[in-house]
Structures are given as structure tokens and as C-alpha cells.
Amino acid sequence: MKILAIESSCDETAAAVVEDGTRVLSSVVASQVAVHHVYGGVVPELASRKHVEAIVPVVREAIETAGIDRSELDAVAVTQGPGLVGALLVGFSYAKAFAWGLGIPCVGVNHLEGHMSSIFLGDNPPSFPYVALLVSGGHTSLYYVTGPTEYELMGQTRDDAVGEAYDKVSKMLGLGYPGGVVIDGLAGKGDPKAISFPRPYLDKKAFDFSFSGLKSAVGRHLKEFPEPDEERLRNIAAGFQESVAEVLCHKLMYAAKVKGCRHVAVVGGVAANSRVRDMVAKAASRRGLSFHTPELKYCGDNAAMIGAIGYHRFMEGSTLGLNDDAYSRARLPSNTKHK
């Protein structure tokens, strides 16, 4: 089954053709980083306008790169939410119209489920059950995953998501947007022990997160050293990143212990962070656990992951009507279990 997938939840316009939920025939992403960089973050109105400009050529390129004709498509899958509602509506409306024009089903999927399914686009997917840490610009959550569309939410952030904290700290340091990439690169040149920031565990035997205090700690340090030199900037970045990585790693390892899982995964945009990947990989190895993470190209927002989960939702019989709408706030799928 060949599915055209479309993603426009934030600042990437993406389309892909995915076969049977795992084989990526094409994946095209049009990034808006250059547009939003000067503002230090995503400007929703500009994002929506850029999606309107990019959606047609991106979809056309995805189909052409896949080497198929649109008549060979069996369904369309599209991000329904959560995200910036204006941005979502561009891809969502286009997907419904595209599917209606071809007379094929359209499937609306949860963006978070897409990130969870990105782990199955590579050569080394985890076996069920496993514990997944989903970390991105807007979300930081722990899930116990028992099937392709079966999750138990174990914990989530009470305030800033990890990616949001990275962006805000980057702005404090005058490093620009996107903060995750900039801080990761700078931290690699610094000493993580030179400046010790607090580890916001909240409770080492619980699964919720909070990163606003860590962000504030960086702000207090900058008040004491308002014009840091290059060495101090590198050490601030390294100290901040070390704190984030230790907290994320501890929570994931503890969740795996509680659930008795032999497989752990990290997904989402922050899964591309070099220190998080390295620390989790080593911690998992010490405990005899199998560690899984998507290829770097599938960590950030992309449409291939939407096609992956779209396949499973379609097989369950979940399709959209023309009157269905996008949603901006995070909500879990109807069959997601709660702790």
C-alpha cells in the first residue's frame, strides 16, 4: 500500500510516499529556518504563508521522486494536530482536497504518533513492548508502547519542553534559532563540569519533567556574568546540555526498569542531540538494554513518519470526512491508555 503523507504542523513543509508503513519511497522537506532565524523563533503567520507557497511543489517532488504516478496512491495521510493551527490547516486542507480529487481515503494522524512511528523507518526497530522518550520543541513525554498504536503515557513536562528550553537558553546567550543545533555544537567544545547547573528531576521515582527552573538558572548565571567570553559561552552550553541529558537519561532508564522493558527508544527533534544519544546509548548498554533511535533525517519534523503511522491508522479503518478539522493542542489518540 502506497500512502502520500503530508506534514505542516510548524515550520517545515514536508511530503513523502511511504509503502506499507516502513518503506520510504521519497521524503521531501522544505525548511523555513532561514525565514524565522532573524526573529529568534517561529512566527506563526509567516509559517502559514510559507506553507502555502511550498505545499504544491513539495508534494509534486515527493511523487516524482518516488517514481510513481498519483493514480498509484492508495491513500493520503496528513498531520491533523497538534501544532500551529494556521500551519496545520494548509497541509490538512490540501490533503483532504487531494484525496477527494483522486477518490481515495484521507487519514488524519497525531503528530506525536508520527514521531513514535519514526523509529520503524530504519533497519533496527524495537520489539514490543518498549519505553519511548519523545523529546521535541513542544513535547517531552515518556510512553510505554505495546503496539503500533497502543501507548501508555507515563509522564510529561509540567512546563517547558526540552526543545523549548534549548531555544530560550540559546536566545539568552545570543546564539540564535534553532537553539538545539547551536547549543549542541557549542557544548561539544566546552567543559560540562566547569559550570554546574541544577538537575531538575522533580522526583527521581516519578516520570514528569520540568525545565523552566534550569532555564532560570542559566538566566541567573548570565546576570552574574552578563558579557561571557567565548570560553564561558561554551561552558554554559555544555553545563546546560549535561543537565538536560542526565535528567532525560535517568527518567528513561528508570521507566524501563519499572516496566521491565529490554528496549528503549528516543524519538523527536531532540533525539538528534549528540549528548542525549551518547548518554542514553551508554546507559542502556551498561544495563543490557537495546537502544533505538531514528535516523537523523527522521528525528525532526518530516512526512515519512506521518506515512508510517498513517498506514496503521488506515488499517484500523480511521479515515477523515470533509467536515473534519485540524486541532492545535496536544491530545492523545482515543485508544491511548493512561497510567
Sign of CA dihedral 293, 298, 23, 115: positive
More confident residue, 224 or 179: 224
Report which of 24, 15, 177 is spatially closest to residue 90, judged by C-alpha positions: 15
310 is in an annotated binding site: no
pLDDT tens digits, one per residue of 162-202: 999 999 999 999 998 888 899 999 999 999 999 999 999 99
**Is 137 annotated as belonging to a binding site?**
yes
Domains of the chain: residue spans and CATH:
2-116+298-331 (3.30.420.40), 123-293 (3.30.420.40)
pLDDT beyond 90 at 276? yes
DSSP per-residue codes, 210-257: --HHHHHHHHHHHHHSSS--HHHHHHHHHHHHHHHHHHHHHHHHHHHH
Residue 254: all three cell numbers together: 528508570
pLDDT at 29 over 90: yes
Dist. CA 55–CA 134, nearest whole Å: 27
Taking Cα atoms as reference points, which of 147, 160, 237, 226 lies closest to residue 191?
A: 237
20 has binding-site annotation: no
235 is annotated as contributing to ligand binding: no
Q: How confident is the model at residue 337 (pLDDT cuts 50, 70, 90)?
A: very low
**pLDDT range class, residue 332, cuts 50, 70, 90:** low
Q: Is 115 annotated as a binding residue?
A: yes
> Annotated binding residue at 312?
no
Residue 134 in marked binding region: yes
Residue with cell 526543545: 163
Characterize the bridge pairing of strands 150-156 and 23-31: unpaired
Give 33's pLDDT tier (boundaries 50, 70, 90).
confident
273 is in an annotated binding site: yes
Q: Is 136 annotated as a binding residue?
A: yes
Q: Is 71 annotated as a binding residue?
A: no
285 is in an annotated binding site: no
Assessment of whether the complete model's pTM goes beyond 0.85: yes
**Residue 110 labeled ligand binder:** no
